[in-house]
Amino acid sequence: MCSEQTTPEERETWPAVWKGFRRRCPNCGSGPMLSGYLTVRDHCPVCREELHHHRADDGPAYLTILIVGHLMAPLLGFVFMEFRPEPLILFTIFAVGCVALSLYLLPRLKGGIVAFQWARRMHGFSAPSA
Ligand SMILES: [Zn+2]
């Protein structure tokens, strides 16, 4: 079944974050973490790991803006200096590019943050249900 499951004592952070970035359960890596575009499931449908403890809040949006801004702003300057395209063409390409990259990154970064919280046992991820 889930060969990568860890014992309750050890949760490796970066493998879990990578699983989360792929929008998979941080525990087993095979169950989908999100039920919609951004909705985190209460439980993993494969290993039943509880995922409802997460408090991602504005973190994914913050990271998305940080990454998209730091990628697209220098690229915009480079394209402008190198190719001098028509302003409307430049605007159209970068507007679509920024929106597309943001929509791509947002659910993946949310998965990564939820997985990070899971791996570090934050916000109730550690509490065994009694
Ligand atoms: Zn799972």
Helix 87-119, helix 59-83: angle, nearest 10: 150
Total number of domains in the chain: 1
Taken in order 60, 64, 92, 100, is the CA torsion positive or negative?
A: negative
Q: Which pLDDT tens digit goes with each residue over 66-77? A: 999 999 999 999
Say how many Å lie between the CA of residue 14 and the centre of ligand 1.
16
Say how many Å lie between the CA of residue 67 and the centre of ligand 1.
28
At residue 40 the predicted structure's pLDDT band, cuts being 50, 70 and 90, is very high
State mean pLDDT over 24-49.
Answer: 95
Domain containing 45: what range?
13-119
Q: Is 62 domain-assigned?
A: yes
Q: Is 127 domain-assigned?
A: no
Put simply, whether the predicted model's pTM sits higher than 0.75 gets the answer yes
- Residue 129: alpha-carbon gap to chain centroid: 26
